[in-house]
Amino acid sequence: MGDRFESVQQVREGLKAVNYLADEGIAGVAFLADRLGKPVLVEGPAGTGKTQLAKSIAEATGSRLIRLQCYEGLDESKALYEWNYKKQLLRIQADKNSDSWTEVHDDIFSDEFLLTRPLLEAISADDPVVLLIDEVDRVEVETEALLLEILSEYQVSIPELGTITAKQIPMVFLTSNNTRELSEALKRRCLFLHVDYPSMEREKEIVLTKVPGVTDNLADQIARIVRSIRQLDLKKAPSVSETLDWARTLVLLGIESIDAQQAKETLHILLKYQTDIAKAAKELSVDK
């Protein structure tokens, strides 16, 4: 397969066409990942658009998105592959009078009885693929070993079938919220990208792009208020997705210019802890 992008600028334009506003750093890493055939480890606070980046790259390039959602206890059978044991048993019972166990064995350990999971599916795909390994920091350290062969060689070893090598190199994005430190071996195989909260100007642009009916003045106010709230000592700072939810709420309420009372009454859309809401309400009272 040829290169997906001709330049960094093309990455930015392609992402903008699907309503993802990438800065030069994000676009540059995506371009290099495509050209070098290396995975991208995307770290940063929750809700800053890490997962959406992979989805938008898939949409912009017309690729199929394959997602592996990580969690504690994720194992090979859920991430890589497993055998269809029920179907294998039926096959064995059907051939119980067979004189050749080797023939039956070779038959039940074939592609027909293999259940592919996201990692193997991405490797064996014929069409262009974007593989999203979401919240990789949630899995145990031992489980990271499942990823190493794939991320370094783009191949999977199955004892009964041998080595399956990728027919095309997928673009791979691993996201992490930094709940634990990832292994050096995993980091070494990846390009690194840190996605932080956007600047006030960029967040305003995101609101204008994503929220139908929002005015320039309201988007500006939203971006300024959210920025001031993020500077407080909060249990959970508002994410970009929560900013967008707040903007949609204000538009639905017919608010064109936010006053302190309206902001306080809708803070529960932006913040999810009562202590945070109280701090933000106090800050808004002081500002006004």
Phi and psi at 81, nearest 5°, equal: -170, 165
What is the CATH architecture of 8-76+120-194? Answer: 3-Layer(aba) Sandwich (3.40)
Taking every pair of Cα atoms in the chain, the longest distance, rounded to a whole number of angstroms, is 87
Residue 171, pLDDT score:
95
pLDDT in tens, 229-264: 999 999 999 999 999 999 999 999 999 999 989 999
67 strand-pairing partners? 132
Tell me what the mean pLDDT of segment 122-149 comes to.
89
What pLDDT, in 10s, does the model give residues 166-201?
A: 888 999 999 998 888 898 999 999 999 999 999 999
Nearest to 109 by CA among 134, 92, 126, 121: 92
pLDDT reported for residue 288: 47
Share of the chain above pLDDT 70, in %: 94
User: pLDDT per residue over 88-126, tens digit each?
Assistant: 788 777 766 665 555 665 667 777 888 889 999 999 899
Residue 86: pLDDT over 90: no
The conformation of residue 127, written as its DSSP 8-state character, comes to S
Q: Give the count of alpha carbons within 13 A of 267, CB side only.
A: 24
pLDDT of residue 47: 86
How do residues 11-66 score in pLDDT, each as one tens digit? Answer: 999 999 999 999 999 999 999 999 999 999 999 988 899 999 999 999 999 999 99
User: Of 240, 253, 242, 243, which is closest to residue 213 (Cα–Cα)?
Assistant: 253
Handedness of CA 117, 118, 122, 123 (dihedral sign): negative
Q: Where exactly are the structural domains of the chain?
A: 8-76+120-194, 81-116, 200-287
pTM for this prediction: 0.85
> Given 3-state DSSP classes, what are the helix, strand and coil percentages for the chain, each rounded to the nearest 5?
50, 15, 35
